[in-house]
Amino acid sequence: MEIQFTVNLVELKRAVRRLLARLPDESAAGDDSIVFGASGNSLEIVVGGTSEVLRAAIVHPGKARVPHHVFRTIARSLRFHRGRAIAIVVSPAVFKINRTGYRHPGISILSPVRGQAFIGVKPAKLQNL
């Protein structure tokens, strides 16, 4: 299971900058996470009680949860990306921007039905009965 979308890089940088200004400091953030919701033709980034909505080309819709400190790392790295559009793929424990991957066990994909996190667990081996 993965979420995949393409978004305008300039708009993403502006939205992330605005969200970072509204984020609490890391000690006050606690267990809160940033939620990326991709559906229809928009990407919604939700932080606590605030959000930013961007136009996006959605390939695989869904929701992903990213810890605060990982989001801050991703935000700092956006200045090194060039071009008009940027491809983002989120799967359990991995957040990829173009070819750059950020790995963290706290990155999760949310179930579209119940809002519960999918855990990246290997399926059990089939047994011969």
Residuewise pLDDT in 10s, the chain (129 residues): 899 999 999 999 999 999 988 876 654 555 578 999 999 999 999 987 889 999 999 999 999 999 988 999 999 999 898 889 999 999 999 999 998 999 999 999 986 654 445 444 444 455 554
Residue 123, pLDDT score: 46
Pick the CATH number of 3-113 from 3.10.300.10, 3.30.1330.10, 3.10.150.10, 3.40.50.1370: 3.10.150.10
Q: In what order do the strands lie in the sheet containing 117-118?
A: 100-103, 94-97, 85-91, 3-8, 50-60, 42-47, 33-39, 62-67, 108-110, 117-118
User: pTM for the full model?
Assistant: 0.79
Cβ neighbours of 34 (radius 10 Å): 23
* The two three-digit tokens of residue 108, written as one number: 């999760």
In the prediction, which pLDDT does 111 show?
65
